[in-house]
Amino acid sequence: MDSAVSDAAAYATGVSPLDETDETLRPWQTDRTRAPIATKIVVAGGFGVGKTTLVTTVSEITPLQTEALMTEASAETDDLTATPGKVTTTVAMDFGRITLDDDLVLYLFGTPGQQRFWFMWDDLVRGAIGAVVLADTRRLKDCFPALDYFESCGLPYIVAVNHFDGSELFEPEDVREALTIPAHIPVMIMDARRRISAIETLLALVGHALEETPE
Measure CA of the first residue to CA of the last residue in the chain; give whole Å: 24
Expressed in percent and rounded to 5, the helix, strand and coil fractions of the chain are 35, 25, 40
For residues 75 and 211, give the distance between their C-alpha atoms in angstroms, rounded to a whole number. 42
- Of residues 44 and 121, more confidently modeled: 44
State the greatest distance between any 2 C-alpha atoms of the chain, in Å, as a whole number. Answer: 55
Provide the percentage of residues in the chain whose pLDDT is more than 90.
51
In this structure, are strands 157-162 and 187-190 parallel, antiparallel, or unpaired? parallel
Identify the CA nearest to 67 among candidates 47, 44, 91, 84. 91
**Digit-coded pLDDT (tens) for 144-186:** 999 999 999 999 999 999 998 888 889 999 999 999 999 999 9
Q: Is the pLDDT of residue 14 over 50?
A: no
Q: What is the pLDDT of residues 109-149, one digit of tens each?
A: 998 856 656 667 888 899 999 999 999 998 899 999 999 99
Sign for the pseudo-dihedral over CA of 9, 13, 19, 24: positive
Superfamily of domain 36-65+91-212: P-loop containing nucleotide triphosphate hydrolases (3.40.50.300)
- Coil/strand/helix, residue 74: helix
Report the 10 Å Cβ neighbour count for 148: 10
- Which pLDDT value is given to residue 64? 80
Q: Is the pTM value of this prediction over 0.95?
A: no
CB atoms within 10 A of CB 135: 27
Report the percent of the chain where pLDDT is more than 70: 67
Reduced to 3 states, what is the DSSP secondary structure of residue 212? helix
pLDDT digits (tens, 9 = 90+) for 74-97: 445 555 555 555 455 554 578 999
